[in-house]
Every structure is written in structure tokens, then in C-alpha cells.
Amino acid sequence: MNKPDFAGAACPTPHQPKETVLLGHGSGGTLSRELIEQVFLPELGAVAPRSLDDAAIIETTGQEQGQRLALSTDSHVVEPLFFPGGDIGHLAVCGTVNDLAMVGARPLALTCGFILEEGLPFATLRQVLTSMRVAAEEAGIYLAAGDTKVVQRGSADKMFINTSGVGVVDQGVQISGANARPGDVIILSGTLGDHGITVLAAREGLGFETDLASDAAPLNHLVQAMLAAGTIHVLRDPTRGGLATSLVEISEQSQVSLLIEEDKLPVKPAVRAACEMLGFDPLFIANEGKLVAFVPPEDAETVLATMRKTRYGEDAAIIGRVLDAGKAQAQLQTAIGGTRLLDMLPGELLPRIC
């Protein structure tokens, strides 16, 4: 493979002025956290959620059998629109379905907002809509409403999609990034980095190819099978910022220290080779069809066995455990026996991959 020549792929920007929005503010890492905590939350005040989970839980009256509502929204700006294993439409449906699933919700319906650039071929739009229908059918959800805006040429990059979703959380299901407990076993549902490296390889002019396909998939059926098998404390899909950022977020939300083991992390050889060539760490590469679960030790083997019987959990593996409460810290035990502290992604590693 030839080393690709592209700008901005590994460009943390800690020293740039922060009075304007940077690409890194959309990374899902440290700058994204700063944007939320220093701009959005102070301005939006009491009307904004504080949990920082993937979806908000809404307590309502009149719900049957103790059910609660879950609500989430997400925007998708991936470039290119089509890539091995998926496209922007498939990604948009799966992304919001998974955000709902990560709080234990059963997704019910989605809304879709399209921003289309003048000149977009109808054939492209139809192909994306077909993918959305297929993904919605697999997830078992209803596309309840939509909206379309068209902007002038040059005002957008072909197509952006926003999806919002609503679901139901059943009585007794209590899943949050704040619920990790000492002794919890950490389970990863499959291989790391497939989506991020696939989209990167699909970009024109980068000069390298792989046989990888995006892992984008709706995970709601996998989550429901896991809930039927045992108790789940935490679920998170490690999208932007990758697994490392998700683990740091969870350690901070729950105020626990945790340890994962490098030699137990499933990574495909093609992803590992691409990361070594480009200087990336698979721990920070985005995934769109994987989840990490924190499970009480007495339920871990049962939940793991259940995951491995499913389409999207067949490569699931135990990768670590929660150590202690009171100190927020995520550590990696390296393959050679050392220990490394994990941190959130500081800037934008791979822009516009979701």
C-alpha cells in the first residue's frame, strides 16, 4: 500500500484559538466535551439534558407498566456518501437506532431531515432512501415524519441527514454511563475500527485499498437479547472518538477506575495494518455497529454467550473490568505487561466519517 497524502487526518489542535468552531469540536473527544460544557449547557441552562448519555430518558405519567420514553437526535455528514458496507442513509438510521438502544430502549419511530444541495441526482437520493428503508425494516422501526431543504450549489456537500428517534424503556431497565460498578466485567461486541478505516479508504486520492466493509448496523435486537440474558449497567456505542474516548467518558460519569487488556481487543489485521501505516491507534477509530457493555460479574458469561449467538455479537469478547470507585481513570494493560492511561481523543482524527 502506498502511504496516502491527505491533510488534516491526524491534527489535534490544542493550541489554536477556541473562539471559533474547529473541526475538532465535532470529533466526539475533548473539544466536543468542551463545546458542550462551555457553550451549549451554559446557554441552554435548565432546558438541556445533563446525563450526557446517548439518549435522554423522559419520565412521563400514564405510561403502562412503568415504561419511560427515550429520545435522541443525530446528524450525518459522511464523505463520501457511499462506501463499502453502507452509505449515509443506512448510517443515519442505524446511528439513531443505536443511540436509543444504548439506554436500553426499544426504538419505535424516527424522523428524518434532509439538506440537499442543488444538482444532486435523483438516482443518488433514491439509492440513499432505499438504504434507509432497508435499515428501518431490519431495526423494526417506523419512519414517522420528514423534512427537506434544498440549498444552493456550494452551500452543502451533496447531502446531509438528521434523524431523531423515540423509543420505550421497559420497567426495571436502568442503563447509564453513570451506573458502572466495581467488579463489572467490560464486554466489547466485536472488532474495532472497521468503519473509520473503511470510509477513509473510500476517499478519492488517498492511494490505499482494503477489503474492509463498514460495521454500521442497528444494534437494538442485540441489546434486547442481552437484557433478556442478564443485568446490564452501562451500554455505549464507541463511535466518534472510538473505544478509548467512550471508556474515559464512562469512568468520569461513574467515578470509577477501569482496566482493559490490549491483547484481548479484537482488531482485524487490515485495520491494524492501516493504523500502523497511518500512525493511528485503533482505540480511537470510530465504529458504527459495535457496543461496549458493563455487566455484573455473575451475569457476564451468560450475556457474552448470548451475544455470540447473534449476527452483530458473534465476535464479542471480555476486554477488561472495573477496579475501584472514587477515582475516574481508564487504563490499558499493554501486550508487553505495561500500563498506559487512556485519554479522550484531543482533536479530530478522521473528519466526516459519520
Question: Residue 15: is its pLDDT beyond 60?
Answer: no
How close are the terminal C-alpha atoms of the chain, in Å? 25
Lowest mean pLDDT among 50-59, 103-112, 325-334: 50-59
pTM of the model: 0.90
Let me know: does 69 contact 60? Beta carbons within 8 Å: yes
Per-residue pLDDT for 150 more than 70? yes
State the average pLDDT for the chain. 91
Q: How confident is the model at residue 5 (pLDDT cuts 50, 70, 90)?
A: very low
DSSP letter (8 states) at residue 94 = H
Residue-wise pLDDT for 29-61, tens only, equals 888 888 888 888 888 877 776 677 888 888 776
User: What is the crossing angle of helices 122-139 and 88-101, to 10°?
Assistant: 30
Q: Give the C-alpha distances (Å, rounded to integers) separating 74 from 32, 302, 303.
A: 14, 32, 29
pLDDT of 295 over the 70 cut: yes
269-305 exposure pattern, b = at least 16 Cβ within 10 A, e = fewer = ebbbebbeebebbbbbbbbbbbbbbbbeeebbeebbe
Residues 6+ apart with CB under 8 A from 323: 182, 256, 257, 258, 259
More confident: 53 or 157: 157
| Gap between the Cα atoms of 285 and 214, Å rounded | 12
**Residue linked to cell 478509548:** 244
As a whole number, mean pLDDT of residues 217-236 equals: 98
User: What residue type is 46 in one-letter code?
Assistant: A
Residue 10: what pLDDT? 45
Question: Closest Cα partner for 37 from 52, 22, 47, 54?
Answer: 52
